[in-house]
C-alpha cells in the first residue's frame, strides 16, 4: 500500500493487504478468511475474533473511509487509505455474519511485454493490441470481475504516444500508467446526508471540456454510456474503457442495457456504438486459477440493424486464429 494514514485494522490483516501478491482479501464473518492473487483463491489462517469483533472492525473501517455502516445502513462501499477499496455488509442482510471484501488497488503498472511473459497473451496478440492503439481505434475490454480488465487497460495506455493527452474517468482510482500526460477524474459518492455526489455521467461531460486526445472510462456501468458514445463519435479517436460481460458476443446486449438507463432505445445504442467502436477485447480467468488471459477479439458492427460483436480473432496458446470478422476489423482499422 502507499504511504500515508494506516488502516485501523489488526496487524495480521494489514500484512495481507500489503502483500504484493494479494489482490483481494475476503472476510466471511468470523468463520473464514480467503485471499486472491498470484496463487489463486485460497483460505488463510487469520483470526479476527467473533462476529461482534468483525462487525466492529467493519464499522470502524467504514468510518475511516468516510462512510456509514450500521443497522440503518447495513452496506458500505468506501475507499480506504493506501489504495484499498472496502465493501462491507452487516446482518441481517448478511445472515451468516459480517462480510468484508477488500480490493487492493496496486499502483505499479505492467507493460504489455510483462503481460506476455505472464501468460496473459501470446506475442501475436500483443502486436494486435499495439495495432489497435496505432490505428487510433476505439475499443472496449470486456470480462468478469477480477478477470484483469483494468490491468490490461493500464498496460495499453502505456502504448499511447507521449504527445497525446489522456483523460481517465473512474469510479475508483485503479488505473496506473507511466504515460506522461494522463490526468484523472474520480467519482465522488454522496455524504452521509445524501449530498455531494459527482458520478461518472457528470465526469464524462467534464472530460469533453478538458482537451482530451483520448478518453478512457475505467468501467462503463451505467448511464454514462451515453456521454461515452457521444465522445467517441465526436473525434476522440483511440479511446477505450472496460465493461462487464460474459463474452465479447454479449457486449452488444450489455451496451443496450446500459443505454436504457440513459434513456436511449435499442436502435439508437446500436447506431451510436457501431459508429463509435471498432473492437472488443475479451479477457477471462479460469475458475480457481491465477492467470488472466485474453480469450478473443471481436469486431463491432451492424447486421440487419442489430448491434453485433462478430468473432475476429480467437487467442490460442500457439497464436491467433482468425475468425469470420477479421477482414471487417482490418478494414475498419485501415490495416493492409
Burial string for 243-272 (b: 16+ CB within 10 Å, else e) reads bbbebbbbbbebbbebbeebebebeebbbb
Cell triple for residue 266?
435499442
pLDDT at 228 over 90: no
CATH code: domain 11-104 is 3.30.450.370
Give the pTM.
0.83
How many residues are recorded in the chain?
A: 336
| Cα–Cα distance list, 168 to 66, 207, 279 (Å) | 24, 8, 19
pLDDT at 3 over 60: no
* pLDDT attached to residue 316: 85
Helices assigned H by DSSP within the chain: 11-18, 51-64, 112-117, 123-134, 149-157, 200-207, 225-232, 251-261, 266-276, 326-333
Percent of residues, the chain, with pLDDT higher than 70? 96
Cα angle, residue 199 at apex, residues 194 and 201 outer, rounded to 5°? 140
Domain 112-333 in CATH 3.30.43.10: no
| Cα–Cα distance list, 118 to 121, 155, 295 (Å) | 8, 13, 15
Average pLDDT value for residue range 163-192: 86
Q: For the chain, what are the domain ranges?
A: 11-104, 112-333
Measured CA to CA, the distance from residue 174 to residue 164 in angstroms comes to 21
- Long-range contacts, 56-59 (Cβ 8 Å, 24+): 57/9, 57/10, 57/98, 57/100, 58/88, 58/90, 58/98, 58/100, 59/90
- Over residues 130-139, the pLDDT tens digits come to 999 999 999 9
Using DSSP's 3-state secondary structure scheme, residue 245 falls into coil
Measured CA to CA, the distance from residue 174 to residue 177 in angstroms comes to 10
pLDDT at 318 over 80: no
Question: What rounded mean pLDDT belongs to the chain?
Answer: 89
Average pLDDT value for residue range 275-295: 85
Cell triple for residue 271?
447506431
* pLDDT attached to residue 2: 46
Measured CA to CA, the distance from residue 212 to residue 182 in angstroms comes to 10
Amino acid at each position: 500500500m502507499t504511504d500515508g494514514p494506516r488502516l485501523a485494522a489488526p496487524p495480521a490483516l494489514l500484512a495481507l493487504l500489503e502483500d504484493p501478491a494479494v489482490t483481494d482479501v475476503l472476510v466471511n464473518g468470523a468463520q473464514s478468511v480467503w485471499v486472491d492473487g498470484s496463487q489463486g483463491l485460497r483460505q488463510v489462517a487469520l483470526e479476527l475474533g467473533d462476529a461482534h469483533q468483525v462487525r466492529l472492525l467493519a464499522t470502524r473501517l467504514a468510518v475511516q473511509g468516510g462512510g456509514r455502516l450500521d443497522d440503518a445502513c447495513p452496506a458500505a462501499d468506501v475507499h480506504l487509505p493506501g489504495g484499498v477499496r472496502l465493501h462491507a455488509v452487516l446482518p441481517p442482510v448478511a445472515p451468516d455474519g459480517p462480510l468484508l471484501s477488500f480490493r487492493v488497488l496496486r499502483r505499479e503498472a505492467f507493460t504489455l511485454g510483462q503481460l506476455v511473459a505472464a501468460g496473459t497473451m501470446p506475442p501475436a496478440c500483443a502486436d494486435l493490441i499495439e495495432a489497435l492503439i496505432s490505428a487510433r481505434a476505439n475499443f472496449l475490454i470486456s470480462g468478469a470481475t477480477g478477470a484483469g480488465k483494468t490491468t490490461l487497460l493500464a498496460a495499453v495506455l502505456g502504448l499511447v504516444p507521449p504527445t497525446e493527452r489522456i483523460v481517465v474517468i473512474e469510479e475508483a482510482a485503479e488505473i496506473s500508467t507511466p504515460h506522461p500526460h494522463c490526468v484523472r477524474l474520480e467519482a465522488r459518492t454522496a455524504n452521509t446526508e445524501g449530498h455531494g455526489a459527482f458520478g461518472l455521467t457528470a465526469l464524462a461531460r467534464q472530460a469533453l471540456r478538458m482537451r482530451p486526445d483520448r478518453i478512457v472510462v475505467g468501467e462503463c456501468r451505467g448511464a454514462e454510456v451515453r456521454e461515452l458514445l457521444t465522445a467517441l463519435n465526436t473525434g476522440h479517436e483511440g479511446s477505450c474503457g472496460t465493461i462487464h460481460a460474459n463474452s465479447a458476443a454479449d457486449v452488444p446486449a450489455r451496451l443496450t442495457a446500459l443505454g436504457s438507463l440513459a434513456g436511449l432505445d435499442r436502435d439508437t445504442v446500436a447506431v451510436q456504438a457501431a459508429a463509435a467502436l471498432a473492437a472488443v477485447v475479451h479477457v477471462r480467468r479460469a475458475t480457481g486459477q491465477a492467470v488472466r488471459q485474453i480469450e478473443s477479439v471481436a469486431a463491432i458492427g451492424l447486421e440487419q440493424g442489430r448491434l453485433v460483436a462478430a468473432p475476429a480473432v480467437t487467442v490460442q496458446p500457439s497464436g491467433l486464429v482468425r475468425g469470420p470478422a477479421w477482414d471487417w476489423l482490418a478494414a475498419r482499422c485501415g490495416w493492409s
